[in-house]
Amino acid sequence: MEAFNIRVVGNVRRREGRVEAARHLVPIADTSGSVAAHVLAVSYPTAACLPNLTRLDGEVDSPVIAGVRSLYAELVDTLRGPMDGLPFVLTGHLHVAGGIESEGAERRILVGGQHAVPHDVFPAEASYVALGHLHKAQAIGRDTIRYSGSLIPLSATEMPYAHGVTLVSLDGTTVLSEHIPIDRPVAFVRLPEAGDMRLNELGDHLTAMNLSSDLPLHKRPFVQIRLAREGLSPGFREEVDRIAESFPARIVDTRVAAIPEASNDVTSADPMIRLAERDPEDLFKLAFERTFGVAPDATHLDVFHRAQAET
């Protein structure tokens, strides 16, 4: 079959409780002009798309999972006649359980409080399930349920991903998929390649990249920096910018080594202690350190105490 582009129709609409299914069916013609397959185009299922969740409360699954399962089953059942036994591709923009997420890059899609659905919510008779949302190209459950992935890294956590497109070939009941990588127009680098470094080592690592000083902006590599926690001052980010401005590189992410598990993290205390019983200063210190990567100094604590007194 030839390549084709599909613009997924908006959210599923219901009229008197029934899905308006026909607007989601897109016929695909072959080179002779005959319809050879269909795309059943569905975007992400909002609560309004799903059947009444209250009546699904007795299902084995959660009501939301049961609702998503019911939605896809209803669409396929309603359109079985018009599809006339031809292969069909099912789409969906949602998080399927077991998929690898990109930390900090993908917003959580909450359908009635449910974050992820199992892969078996999609009817087995679908020739192929084309999923969107997760940035990593991957199959979930079976090879014909796939995320094609994003075209380029959208987060520093996606550096190891093989970004690209997925070419799917349908020939009757035979389905073949091929991942076609896309070369990155600029490099995406982690400094150091593994572990962490001290801030005073950053200049040496940038120098070792041996970048041409006249490198145009659009060709300068994206750089993620990983710093050791020891010895960092609260103003370390400004120091990172000061060091990096002498090099033809674009700093897109600066991370500090995680707090050791043995630290005095108030979240590791007795889980039965209520939030109201915790010391506000301890909570402030924890939030500050998680945000900035270092503990607050006396100046920060003074501002906190003054703000606390005013409230």
Q: Tell me the per-residue pLDDT of 86-107, one tens digit each, with 9 for 90 and over.
A: 999 999 998 999 998 887 677 7
Which CATH number describes the domain made up of 185-257? 3.30.160
Percent of the chain with pLDDT over 70: 82
CB-based contacts of 47-54 (< 8 A; 24+ apart in sequence) = 47/111, 47/112, 48/11, 48/14, 49/11, 49/12, 49/14, 50/111, 50/112, 51/17, 52/17, 53/112
Residue 171, pLDDT above cutoff 50: yes
Cβ neighbours for 70, distance < 8 A, ≥ 6 positions apart: 50, 51, 56
Q: Is 68 exposed, middle or buried (0-12, 13-18, 19+ CB in 10 A)?
A: buried
List the end-to-end C-alpha distance of the chain, in Å, as a whole number: 67
Interaxial angle between packed helices 280-292 and 298-310, expressed in degrees from 0 to 180 and rounded to the nearest 10: 130
Residue intervals of the chain classified under CATH 3.60.21.10 are 14-181
Residue 245, pLDDT above cutoff 90: yes
117-126, 165-174, 246-255 — which is least confidently predicted? 165-174
pTM: 0.67
| Calpha distance 152→137 (Å, rounded) | 11
Higher pLDDT, 153 or 214: 214
The confidence band for 124, taking pLDDT boundaries of 50, 70 and 90, is: very high
Q: Which two tokens stand for residue 132?
A: 């969107």
The helix (run of H) or strand (run of E) holding residue 277 is none
Predicted local distance difference test score (pLDDT) of residue 234: 81
109-123, 268-282, 296-310 — which is least confidently predicted? 268-282
Predicted local distance difference test score (pLDDT) of residue 174: 87
| Calpha distance 138→123 (Å, rounded) | 19
The confidence band for 229, taking pLDDT boundaries of 50, 70 and 90, is: confident
Residue 262, pLDDT above cutoff 60: no
The helix (run of H) or strand (run of E) holding residue 115 is none
What is 14-181's CATH number, 2.40.50.140, 3.30.1950.10, 3.40.50.11810, 3.60.21.10?
3.60.21.10
User: Chain centroid to CA 144: how far?
Assistant: 20
Residue intervals of the chain classified under CATH 3.30.160 are 185-257
| Calpha distance 295→281 (Å, rounded) | 12
54-63, 82-91, 135-144 — which is least confidently predicted? 54-63
| Calpha distance 112→41 (Å, rounded) | 22
User: Looking at residues 269-279, what average pLDDT do you find?
Assistant: 55
Higher pLDDT, 158 or 5: 158
Residue 275, pLDDT above cutoff 70: no
| Calpha distance 190→156 (Å, rounded) | 8
